Structure 1
């Protein structure tokens, strides 16, 4: 993973950490499923009119759109509506990182070095410390199990979307991200109609001139532009040219930004345990991302044919995905 890609990943981490403040502002006014649908709907019409559909493997694109775009935000928004604290949500959702690493090993045949494993375990230890501290400190008890479980499901969906986005192999990652908004909108709005009812969404739109409505509009704009177009677009690009096991651990830094932003904007004061846990997360991410990658150089036989290693048994797309090599399609 190049220095440029690490810096881009850190930029996405910063944008996504602030995402949770925008979500909280939106949920203070909109119903959760309606907010999720509205987030993508504001982009869907101009995308369909002005943006050409990318060259992409459709079935993997649908996995990306469903996991990353639909199910993740249904679970996350509902969890936060049910009482999941903003800072804690930013933490628990990062279960997507270990889920992505495991799925990458299982389905992309990626290989992890000892340094990556150690770094991931350290970062997860920091997350566990923060989670235990938050649950104990907020006295959520049994009531915290449902929103925490929903957020973990959101993390699993994000991980599945990461794998789908990698296997989709688009000719343009940004256009794939934009079209993800088109595909994700209908099921989210259908869920809103069935579960929340049409009146809930309509009422929230008619009261946009209130203080909570204006703040929600600001949060919605941030989610659409910075969280989706810029953040998700860059993230998909990074996954397209690096192993998922090297990119996804960077998302473990999102809670550091999320908890800090919740303190600054929402008055959620971090405890000593959270601060210590955040330092551990940063250390683990640094160890995992900076670890020297495992060599994938194939041995050549006397006649110049590829060696008989495991990579040679993969079909070309899977082998390239394992090697983190981007494919440039024509057109």
Structure 2
């Protein structure tokens, strides 16, 4: 059994923090990687290839660590199919199609607001008013996104930016649906089966609309290296690291690290020679502040000690 003594807990906490941060950094690299593969592949094929590899690796991970329980699949088959279409096929179709005209930094920043969008949608579904900090954070984040795309200097949102915003909404619906619709399944099982069904949809569309076999035959070594990076590092490994963080630190503390996604995308873009201007850097900072503000835990009103004792 692992050492769970008090002296070992800080070490486990630190490891979980570092792994969660790495997961966010890995996700941030996917946007520049998407730009690279789209230079050689149409969008449906690029998305399908990434998730064929990722789904296969995730399925092997599930089999090796937990075993495959078909009762879970039968019980949640409808939910897994719908969530796969929304959160895997829909989200990645929006990302790969949107990246044809959007930039990696802008795309990462829009996707970086997904936790905030999820919280607001969940409040709407539960018929409760969102917290004031959540609404303020959303407004500040939107100002940051506008700064990043140059909206205040006369530029307009590209069609790809709007597609990616739709993908962010799809991811928020996926996150809520996983909590509401799935019954008696571990997070890894939910991820694997939704990934499998979403991948099937992406692959089917790619075969109908494009020519994946020809693309793969003509692909360069760079294309394959980047595609494998997105599938194994930017998908499977990032998910596993993120889940370790949630298990050891809790979802609230871990979700704040999602702010590293646009920062990672900004650094990677700079590494490829596209140095951001001051408005983009400022926009990323403003948007991250908005998400952080909205993610702060709400203070509960203090209860007098005497009232508590008399209850």
Judge same fold: TM > 0.5, yes or no.
Answer: yes
Measured in 2, the distance between the counterparts of 1:36 and 1:135 equals: 33
Partner of 2:298: 293
C-alpha change, 1:149 and 1:236, in structure 2 (3 Å) is farther
Query: In the alignment, which of 34, 37, 53 is matched to residue 26 of structure 1?
Result: 37
- 3-state DSSP of counterpart to 2:99: helix
Query: In the alignment, which of 96, 113, 125 is matched to residue 107 of structure 1?
Result: 125
Q: Is the CA contact 2:117–2:169 (under 8 Å) kept in the aligned structure 1?
A: yes
113-122 or 64-73: bigger deviation:
113-122
Unaligned runs of 5+ in 1: 298-306, 308-331
Measured in 1, the distance between the counterparts of 2:246 and 2:147 equals: 28
C-alpha change, 1:185 and 1:292, in structure 2 (3 Å) is closer
Note if 1:222 corresponds to 2:229: yes
C-alpha change, 1:48 and 1:255, in structure 2 (3 Å) is closer
Q: Is the CA contact 1:43–1:182 (under 8 Å) kept in the aligned structure 2?
A: no
Measured in 2, the distance between the counterparts of 1:146 and 1:96 equals: 19
Partner of 2:149: 131
Q: Is the CA contact 1:162–1:236 (under 8 Å) kept in the aligned structure 2?
A: no
Matches within 5 A, 1:91-102: 91-102=109-120
Q: Is the CA contact 1:87–1:262 (under 8 Å) kept in the aligned structure 2?
A: yes
Measured in 2, the distance between the counterparts of 1:264 and 1:159 equals: 30
Partner of 2:179: 166
Unaligned runs of 5+ in 2: 1-12, 303-310
Q: Is the CA contact 1:43–1:178 (under 8 Å) kept in the aligned structure 2?
A: no
Measured in 2, the distance between the counterparts of 1:235 and 1:296 equals: 32
Shift in Å, 1:134 = 9.4
Measured in 2, the distance between the counterparts of 1:239 and 1:60 equals: 23
RMSD: 3.5
Q: Is the CA contact 1:120–1:249 (under 8 Å) kept in the aligned structure 2?
A: no
Provide Cα deviations, 1:255-277, integer angstroms capped at 9, x if missing partner: 22212211212x22211111112
Q: Is the CA contact 2:120–2:130 (under 8 Å) kept in the aligned structure 1?
A: no
Shift in Å, 1:111 = 7.3
Count residues with an aligned counterpart.
281
C-alpha change, 1:62 and 1:233, in structure 2 (3 Å) is farther
Matches within 5 A, 1:64-83: 64-81=83-100, 83=101
Partner of 1:242: 251
C-alpha change, 1:20 and 1:31, in structure 2 (3 Å) is same
